[in-house]
Amino acid sequence: MPIIYYDSNCNYCYNYAIWLIRHGLPRSYQFVPLKSDAGDALVAQHPEVASKNSVILQRGAQLTFESTAIVQMLGALGRHKWLGVLLWSIPKPLRDMGYRCFANNRDKLWSTTWAQPTADEQSFFIE
């Protein structure tokens, strides 16, 4: 089961999770806050995670960060898979630079309210 670790204090991050669910993210995916017991366990197993300001996609023992994680999440969507293909065509150093720029300034760039999830959408979230 793929697990997406996200910053649960970030409106944009949470709303992006809801957007993924509403646009066809398979039920096998689960969202886990980075600041949770499961997030702490991930950091204990993979100390490098603590220094990342990034969404983290975990598939088994494999961890994916930054723009590559976003590309892979978009690739899991049916109709919107093309967005992942489009992003993948951008060289990784440029993708990651854009990701870091956005991640480090997301609170200034993205002023929004929390999306209200349905019961079905809420079932994707652990903890």
d(CA 61, CA 33): 18
3-6 and 30-33 as β-strands: parallel, antiparallel, unpaired? parallel
Predicted TM-score of the model (pTM): 0.89
The pLDDT, as a whole number, for residue 115 is 75
The pLDDT, as a whole number, for residue 23 is 94
The pLDDT, as a whole number, for residue 37 is 94
The pLDDT, as a whole number, for residue 111 is 63
The pLDDT, as a whole number, for residue 28 is 96
Angle at the Cα of 104 from the Cα atoms of 100 and 106, rounded to 5 degrees:
110
Spacing of C-alpha 39 from chain mean position? 13
Query: What are the φ and ψ backbone dihedral angles of 59, each rounded to 5 degrees?
Result: -125, 100
The pLDDT, as a whole number, for residue 69 is 95
The pLDDT, as a whole number, for residue 40 is 93
Ranges under pLDDT 70 in the chain: 109-112
The pLDDT, as a whole number, for residue 109 is 66
The pLDDT, as a whole number, for residue 80 is 87
